[in-house]
Structure 1
Amino acid sequence: MTPAAAKPVDRQLPSEEARELLALTRDLVRNEVEPRAAEDEAAGRFPREVFGTLGEAGLLSLPYEEQHGGGGQPYEVYLQVLEELAAGWLAVGLGVSVHTLSCHALATFGTDAQRERWLPGMLGGEQLGAYCLSEPQSGSDAAALRTRADLDGEQYVVNGTKAWITHGGHADFYSTMARTGVDGARGISCLLVPGDSTGLSAAPPEHKMGMRSSPTAQIHFDGVRVDRDRLIGEEGQGFQIALSALDSGRLGIAACAIGVAQAALDLAVEYAGTRQQFGRPIAEFQGLSFMLADMATKVEAGRALYLAAARRRDAGMAFSKEAAMAKLFCTDAAMAVTTDAVQVLGGYGYTQDYAAERYMREAKVLQIVEGTNQIQRLVIGRHLTGR
Structure 2
Amino acid sequence: MYFTEEHELFRKSLKDFLQKEVVPHIDKWEKTGDIERFIWEKFGEMGYFGIAYPEEYGGLGLDLFYTVIFLEELQKINSGGFAAAMWAHVYLAMTHVNKEGDHRIKEKYLKSSITGEKIGCLCISEPFGGSDVAGMRTTAVKEGDSYVINGSKTFITNGVYSDYLVVAAKTTPDLGNKGISIFIMDRETPGISATKLDKLGWKASDTGEIAFDNVVIPAENLMGEEDKGFSYIMQHFALERLIMGINAHARAEFALDYAIKYMGEREAFGRTIDKFQALRHSVADMASELEMCKEFNYSIAKRLNDGQYVVKEASMSKLMSTKIADEVIYKCLQLLGGYGYMEEYPLARLFRDSRLGPIGGGTSEILREIIAKMVIDKKEYKPAVKA
TM-score, structure 2 as length reference: 0.92
Structure 1 equivalent of residue 68 of structure 2: 79
**2:12 partner amino acid:** A
Residue 12 of structure 1, CA deviation: 4.4
Name which of 80, 85, 90 aligns with 1:90.
Answer: 80
Q: Which deviations, in whole Å up to 9, do the C-alpha atoms of 1:219-272 show, x marking residues without a partner?
A: 111111111111111110111111122211112111222222122112101110
Q: Which deviations, in whole Å up to 9, do the C-alpha atoms of 1:135-184 show, x marking residues without a partner?
A: 00011111111111111111111111111111111111111000111331
Name which of 21, 42, 48 aligns with 1:32.
Answer: 21
CA distance in 2: counterparts of 1:294 and 1:45, whole angstroms: 38
Name which of 176, 189, 194 aligns with 1:202.
Answer: 194
Structure 1: gaps of 5 or more residues: 1-10
Say yes or no: does 1:182 pair with 2:164.
no
Structure 1 equivalent of residue 385 of structure 2: none
**1:200 partner amino acid:** I
Residue 47 of structure 1, CA deviation: 4.3
Say yes or no: does 1:70 pair with 2:70.
no
CA distance in 2: counterparts of 1:303 and 1:126, whole angstroms: 33
Residue 52 of structure 1, CA deviation: 2.5
CA distance in 2: counterparts of 1:371 and 1:181, whole angstroms: 24
Say yes or no: does 1:319 pair with 2:310.
yes
After TM superposition, the structure 1 stretch with the greater mean CA deviation from structure 2, 292-301 or 172-181, is: 292-301
CA distance in 2: counterparts of 1:46 and 1:125, whole angstroms: 13
Structure 1 equivalent of residue 149 of structure 2: 158
Residue 307 of structure 1, CA deviation: 1.4
Counterpart contact for 2:182–2:229, Cα < 8 Å? yes
- Structure 2 vs 1, CA of residues 62 and 321 (structure 1 numbering), >3 Å: closer, same or farther? same
Q: How does 1:4-43 map to 2 (within 5 A)?
A: 12-14=2-4, 16=6, 18-43=7-32
Percent same amino acid at aligned positions? 33
Q: Which deviations, in whole Å up to 9, do the C-alpha atoms of 1:90-133 show, x marking residues without a partner?
A: 22222222112111122112334443443212222221110100
Name which of 35, 42, 49 aligns with 1:46.
Answer: 35
Structure 1 equivalent of residue 383 of structure 2: none
Name which of 354, 367, 377 aligns with 2:345.
Answer: 354
> SS at 1:222's partner residue?
strand
Residue 274 of structure 1, CA deviation: 0.2
Structure 1 equivalent of residue 264 of structure 2: 273
Structure 2 equivalent of residue 5 of structure 1: none
Name which of 46, 50, 55 aligns with 1:61.
Answer: 50
- Structure 2 vs 1, CA of residues 172 and 381 (structure 1 numbering), >3 Å: closer, same or farther? same
Residue 313 of structure 1, CA deviation: 0.9
> SS at 2:210's partner residue?
strand
Residue 39 of structure 1, CA deviation: 4.3
Q: How many residue pairs were aligned?
A: 375
- Structure 2 vs 1, CA of residues 78 and 273 (structure 1 numbering), >3 Å: closer, same or farther? same
Q: Which deviations, in whole Å up to 9, do the C-alpha atoms of 1:189-209 show, x marking residues without a partner?
A: 000111221111101x21111
Say yes or no: does 1:306 pair with 2:297.
yes
Structure 2: gaps of 5 or more residues: 380-387
Say yes or no: does 1:221 pair with 2:212.
yes
Structure 1 equivalent of residue 110 of structure 2: 119
CA distance in 2: counterparts of 1:233 and 1:63, whole angstroms: 20
- Structure 2 vs 1, CA of residues 258 and 117 (structure 1 numbering), >3 Å: closer, same or farther? same
After TM superposition, the structure 1 stretch with the greater mean CA deviation from structure 2, 328-337 or 36-45, is: 36-45
> SS at 1:218's partner residue?
strand
CA distance in 1: counterparts of 2:28 and 2:223, whole angstroms: 40
> SS at 1:53's partner residue?
helix
> SS at 1:78's partner residue?
helix
> SS at 2:121's partner residue?
strand
